[in-house]
Every structure is written in C-alpha cells, then in structure tokens.
C-alpha cells in the first residue's frame, strides 16, 4: 500500500548564498598557498634553494602539503555557506584532488628532507631517515600520521573503493583526521617555517585552529544541537515499490529546520547495532514544517534496515546538505531528469518551485514500469499543476547514453549530439529551461552533457550525484 504525502501550496524563497562567494572561496584558497610560499621565502628558502640545498625544496613541499591537507579538511567540514556555494559534488572532487596532491607533496617532503640531511651529514639516506625518526622530537608521531594517511589514500583509490563497503571505507577515511593531528607536533617542534617568525607561528596556529574548530562545530556540535532541538522520530514506514521504502518522520519545531526541497541529511537511526554509521538520504517530499519524508532504495550497506524501522525510533541527523535546490530558480520552464532513486529530491522540488501550470516536465528513467515510484503524487502534480511526466523505460543502452536501449538505438549514434536531439524532441523548450538532474554518476554525467548540447547554459543545469 502506498501513502501519498500531498504537496502543499508553494512559496517563493529568496536565494541565501551571495553570488560572489564561490569566487571569493577560490581566491582564499589560492591566497593561502601564496602566503605559505611567502613565509618560506622570508625564512631564507630561496637562498638555500639557489645553493642547491634539497632541504629547502623539502621544506616547501611540506608546507604546501600541510596547507592543502588543512584546506582539504575545511572543504568537507560541512560549513553551511561553503556547502551552499559549491555543492557536495564539486566539494568532493576538490577534496579528492587536494588529498592526492597533498599526499604526493608529503612524499616529496620526506624524500627531499631525508636526502638533504643525508648530504649534509655525509651518511646514507636510510641511516639518516632512521636517525631522524628516533632522534628528532615528534618524528615518531609524524611517521604514524604518515602511515595513516597512506592507508587513507590507498583505500580512496577507485579500485580499492569498489571492493570496500561504504561503511568500511568511511571509517577508514576518518583516520585522516588523526593523521593530520599526529603531524602537528613535529612541525611545531622542529619546523623552521612554523617557528621561524611570529608571523609564521600565528599563521599555522590560526589555520590549524580554524580547521579543527570547523570540524568540531559543523561536524559534531551543530548536528548534535539540531538532533536535540528537533528530536526526530519515525512516524511510519511505507513500502513504495520493489526494494523502495519511504520513512515519515515527525519532530519538534520542524518549521525552524533550515532545509529546502532537494537537500539531504546524513541519517543515523537508533534501532540497534550499526546505528553509528550515517547514510545520506534525500528528502522525497517538500518540507512543510510538520513532517519530513525520505525514500530509500535497498542497495545494501545498511539501507535494507530502513524497511524494518519501527514507529518511535529516534533519528540522529547531520545536515541539511546539497545544492540541488530552487535557490537559483528565476522562473520559466522546468525540466527534471531523474533516474531510479534520483526521483526523490526532484519530487520534493516539484512541490516547491513556483513554476506556472504546464511549465514543468519530468523525464523519469526506470528499467520497468513497476519500478516507477510515487505514481499517486505524480498524478497529483499532473492534474493540479500541469506537470508532464515522460517515462523512459527499458534496459540500459549498449553505448554510453542517458537513454534506454530502445531510444538510444533509434537515435543516430553517429551524430555528435544524438542524445541531445532526443532530449530536444521530448522537451522542446529545454534551451530556455532550468534543468535539474539526479541519478547515478555516469547517467547524470550523460544527461547533463545532453542538456548542455541541447542549448541549456551551464549555469541552468543543476545536478546531484548518487555515488560515494
């Protein structure tokens, strides 16, 4: 049996993120690297480097590695303004890029410092490395931190991630915080560029304090405060289709919870063993201040437990997160492209966006008609708000495409914009529309590319990926 959460009348919400913030955020990151380089120069780095001292290059590599490592922490510290400005997809890509770059610089730092010290002491590299580990303050802790970071980097490689359960990968990833913390003592005790001047000391202590403070406030403090304030509990659990379950939650002062349609929370349900592992689930209905609804597909990794939740089960929340909202919607046509469980945030958006009757089209990709969820609500939107629902059913295409096999085969595969042409036929006004895309990573990429090829400006293509 399916229970319909009938949408309520929508209201226009103003944008809350300053338009200049994304550019300012990038400038701050670049300025931090320039500041680190300037501190290295002021502490004699250039003179040493010109003299052929490998230690000088090693110091610079270490400074860049530390700076990027702390920027990486800030990228995923869940700072609300950063989240709204860049979105989870972009932040995750930058987090990955800065992480691997920082790791390579850390390796270069260790190698160059060891070789530089060995050349000065006229000893072998391995003997010098051992001597540093046992003789220099904080080096054993730094070695332990480096080992943890190596573990995190290795398990973050795509081949390793495919073999790991999400919960295992996420737990291992948390050791990066410990690795960063263990590296701090040797930098403050022996790092000339950390203690060489009051400006250097102030810079690094400030950056470490800001990074640690952001994690404590936004990853720990704010979620605990919102969990305590709103006290969400499971109201009822409703099967929506094969392997698909909706959970309705009620709580206190939900009208004060700063969430928008299209966003997601990290959820922990206090239903027994495994409660400590958080899972990201999007709202599948427009938040109205008295109920929240999430819809979960049974994909393993703890999602199967959702169907067994009992009314009264308490929930711990982190969030809301995500940039797939109506914040930048300026009116006019709306095209939504959903694949599988990607329908959930788009369904919530259909209830919030103030489009005129007949202006919205939902293209819903599923393998079979039985897998199309929320039929009652889609019929309500079609009847009361003029939404046109276009189901795209069938198996996956043999070639990379956002279309099912039947549509992809009918399209001229030799044409450069074959998939975009099909999209134009389905949604003739797409070039003038705001386009919202949600689904698996490869499908979302193909659908977004087709929308841009169909004439939609990049700033009007809004995406959210369901991947980790």
Judgement on whether residues 62 and 152 belong to the same structural domain of the protein = yes
Per-position DSSP letters for 328-365, written without gaps between them: T--SS-EEEEEEGGGHHHHHHHHHHS-PPTT-EEEEEE
Judgement on whether residues 73 and 213 belong to the same structural domain of the protein = yes
Residue 123 DSSP symbol = -
| Residue 246 located in a structural domain | yes
Query: Cβ(10)–Cβ(261) under 8 Å?
Result: no
Question: Which tokens is 76 given?
Answer: 């995923």
Contact partners, residue 73, CB within 8 Å, separation at least 6: 177, 180, 211, 214, 215
Judgement on whether residues 236 and 210 belong to the same structural domain of the protein = no
Judgement on whether residues 278 and 361 belong to the same structural domain of the protein = no
| Residue 11 located in a structural domain | no
Judgement on whether residues 301 and 358 belong to the same structural domain of the protein = no
| Residue 269 located in a structural domain | yes
Judgement on whether residues 109 and 179 belong to the same structural domain of the protein = yes
Helix (H, G, I), strand (E, B) or coil at 457: coil
| Residue 303 located in a structural domain | yes
pLDDT at 453: 92
Last residue of one domain, picked from the residues 186, 217, 248: 217
Least Cα distance to 321 among 36, 49, 88, 66 occurs for 88
pLDDT digits (tens, 9 = 90+) for 11-52: 434 445 555 555 666 677 788 888 888 888 887 777 777 766
Cα-based distances in Å from 180 to 34, 68, 86, 99, 387: 21, 11, 24, 12, 50
CA separation for the pair 448, 450 (Å, rounded): 5
Domain containing residue 89 = 21-217
- Say which CATH number the domain at 440 has: 3.40.50.80
Query: Cβ(376)–Cβ(349) under 8 Å?
Result: no
Judgement on whether residues 311 and 361 belong to the same structural domain of the protein = no
Last residue of one domain, picked from the residues 157, 182, 217: 217
Last residue of one domain, picked from the residues 321, 352, 379: 321
User: Angle of helix 54-75 relative to helix 175-190, nearest 10 degrees?
Assistant: 140
Contact partners, residue 146, CB within 8 Å, separation at least 6: 106, 110, 179, 183
Judgement on whether residues 281 and 350 belong to the same structural domain of the protein = no
Please tell me the pTM assigned to this model: 0.77
Residue 396 DSSP symbol = B
CA separation for the pair 229, 256 (Å, rounded): 10
Q: Count up the domains in the chain and report the number.
A: 3
Locus of tokens 């929930």: 315
> Strands 264-269 and 315-321: what pairing?
antiparallel
Question: Which tokens is 417 given?
Answer: 């914009």
Query: Cβ(367)–Cβ(357) under 8 Å?
Result: no
pLDDT at 228: 95
pLDDT at 38: 86
| Residue 296 located in a structural domain | yes
Task: Find the Cα–Cα–Cα–Cα dihedral 455, 457, 460, 463, rounded to 10°.
Answer: 80
As beta bridge partners, residue 293 has 248
Other beta carbons less than 10 A from residue 312's beta carbon: 8
Least Cα distance to 438 among 297, 303, 340, 332 occurs for 340
CA separation for the pair 180, 74 (Å, rounded): 12
Locus of tokens 């300037």: 38
| Residue 413 located in a structural domain | yes
Judgement on whether residues 50 and 144 belong to the same structural domain of the protein = yes
Judgement on whether residues 410 and 355 belong to the same structural domain of the protein = yes
**pLDDT tens, residue order, the chain (468 aa):** 444 555 544 443 444 555 555 566 667 778 888 888 888 888 777 777 776 678 888 888 888 888 888 888 888 788 887 777 777 777 777 878 888 888 888 888 888 888 887 887 788 888 878 887 777 777 777 777 778 777 777 777 766 666 666 666 666 666 677 777 777 777 766 666 677 678 888 888 888 889 889 989 998 999 999 999 999 999 999 988 778 889 999 999 888 888 888 889 999 999 887 787 888 898 998 887 788 999 988 766 567 788 889 999 999 999 898 888 888 888 899 999 999 888 999 999 999 999 999 999 999 998 888 888 888 899 999 999 999 999 999 888 877 888 888 877 766 555 557 888 889 989 998 999 999 999 888 899 899 999 999 999 988 999 877 654
Contact partners, residue 326, CB within 8 Å, separation at least 6: 13, 260, 261, 262, 349, 352, 353
Least Cα distance to 333 among 449, 435, 421 occurs for 435
Judgement on whether residues 380 and 438 belong to the same structural domain of the protein = yes
Judgement on whether residues 209 and 61 belong to the same structural domain of the protein = yes
| Residue 105 located in a structural domain | yes
| Residue 10 located in a structural domain | no
């Amino acid at each position: 049996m399916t229970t319909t959460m009938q949408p309520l009348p929508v209201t226009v919400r103003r944008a809350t993120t300053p338009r200049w913030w994304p550019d300012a955020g990038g400038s701050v990151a670049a300025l931090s690297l320039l500041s680190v380089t300037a501190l290295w120069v002021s502490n004699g780095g250039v003179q040493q480097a010109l003299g052929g001292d490998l230690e000088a290059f090693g110091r610079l590599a270490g400074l860049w590695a530390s700076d990027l490592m702390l920027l990486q922490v800030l990228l995923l510290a869940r700072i609300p303004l950063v989240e709204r400005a860049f979105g989870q997809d972009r932040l995750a890509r930058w987090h990955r890029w800065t992480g691997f770059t920082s790791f390579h610089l850390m390796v270069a730092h260790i190698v160059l410092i060891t070789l530089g010290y060995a050349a000065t002491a006229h000893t072998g590299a391995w003997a010098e490395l051992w001597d540093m580990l046992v003789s220099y303050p904080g080096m054993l802790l730094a070695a332990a931190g480096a080992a943890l970071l190596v573990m995190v980097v290795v398990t973050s490689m795509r081949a390793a991630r495919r073999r790991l359960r999400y919960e295992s990968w996420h737990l291992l990833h948390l050791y990066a915080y410990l690795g960063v913390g263990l590296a701090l003592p040797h930098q403050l005790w022996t790092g000339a560029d950390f203690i060489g001047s009051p400006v250097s000391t102030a810079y690094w202590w400030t950056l470490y304090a800001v990074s640690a403070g952001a994690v404590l406030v936004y990853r720990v403090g704010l979620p605990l405060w919102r969990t305590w304030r709103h006290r969400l509990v499971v109201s009822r659990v409703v099967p929506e289709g094969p392997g698909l379950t909706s959970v309705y939650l009620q709580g206190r002062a939900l009208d004060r919870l700063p969430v928008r349609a299209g966003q997601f929370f990290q959820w922990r349900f206090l239903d027994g063993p495994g409660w400590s592992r958080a899972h990201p689930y999007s709202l599948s209905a427009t938040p109205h201040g008295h109920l929240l609804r999430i819809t979960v597909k049974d994909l393993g990794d703890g999602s199967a437990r959702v169907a067994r939740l009992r009314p009264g089960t308490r929930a711990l929340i982190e969030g809301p997160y995500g940039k797939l909202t109506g914040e930048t919607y300026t009116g006019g046509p709306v095209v939504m492209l959903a694949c599988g469980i990607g329908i959930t945030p788009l369904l919530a958006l259909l209830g919030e966006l103030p489009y005129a009757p007949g202006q919205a089209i939902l293209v819903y990709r599923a393998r079979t008609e039985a897998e199309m969820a929320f039929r009652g609500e889609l019929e309500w939107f079609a009847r009361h708000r003029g939404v046109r629902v276009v189901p795209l059913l069938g198996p996956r295409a043999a070639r990379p495409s956002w279309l099912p096999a039947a549509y992809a085969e009918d399209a001229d595969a030799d044409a450069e914009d074959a998939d975009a042409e099909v999209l134009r036929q389905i949604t003739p006004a797409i070039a003038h529309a705001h386009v919202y895309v949600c689904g698996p990573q490869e499908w979302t990429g193909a659908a977004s590319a087709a929308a841009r090829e169909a004439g939609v400006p990049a700033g009007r293509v809004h995406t959210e990926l369901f991947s980790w």
